[in-house]
Amino acid sequence: MSDTKRPIALDIADETPLGDATLAYFDKCREKLGMVPNVLAAYAFNEAKLSAFTQMYNDLMLADSGLSKLEREMIAVAVSAVNRCYYCLTAHGAAVRQISGDPELGELMVMNYRVADLSDRHRAMLDFSVKLTEMPQEIVEADRQGLRDAGFTDRDIWDIASVAAFFNMSNRVAAATDMRPNPEYHAMAR
């Protein structure tokens, strides 16, 4: 059993103290979320890795996009469900519940998005994300055209693929390190 005081099963010593910008970022997390997400605590052993992770995450999940924040969180959950990533299903399932204001949608997304009452746009987006996760070698022009037909631009398709790819990477790191979600996520937006 992993040490519940550590966010991961690996015992990685801090290389250097965190800089002022990172400490301020963690303070902002505490202010907005009431905690520092364990994924950030896990990366904190190396500030360069933490910075690279947070910059990519913030760009994909929070920056301007043709995808809404909810749509990006839905992709994170659908991909994480395929990969059975406990950390991301817990954290991003909570985000879907919170952003949508619909706890049932959050649970359906975690369990099986296919049974949720989704728009054609969202179903196409999630089907593409799951296919990219399970069978990337089988993505063809018809898959991209299906997204266009559902109302996505080529830039949106880039963003869908980038979010799906990021969470595939994150899911694998979380699995390899036995990353555990913060307990607070379990009760959020219920």
Quickly list DSSP for 46-76.
Answer: SHHHHHHHHHHHHHHHHS--SS-HHHHHHHH
- DSSP label at 19? P
Instruction: For residue 156, give its domain range.
Output: 69-187
Same-domain check for residues 124 and 146: yes
The answer to whether the CB of 47 falls within 8 A of the CB of 20 is no
Mean pLDDT in residue range 128-144: 98
Same-domain check for residues 97 and 151: yes
Residue 154 located in a structural domain = yes
Residue 10 located in a structural domain = no
Specify the CATH number for the domain of residue 37: 1.20.5.810
d(CA 182, CA 190): 16
Same-domain check for residues 92 and 34: no
What length is written for the chain?
190
Residue 1 has pLDDT above 70, yes or no: no
* pLDDT, tens digit, 9 for 90 and up, residues 69-124: 999 999 999 999 999 999 999 999 999 999 999 999 999 999 999 999 999 999 99
Residue 2 located in a structural domain = no
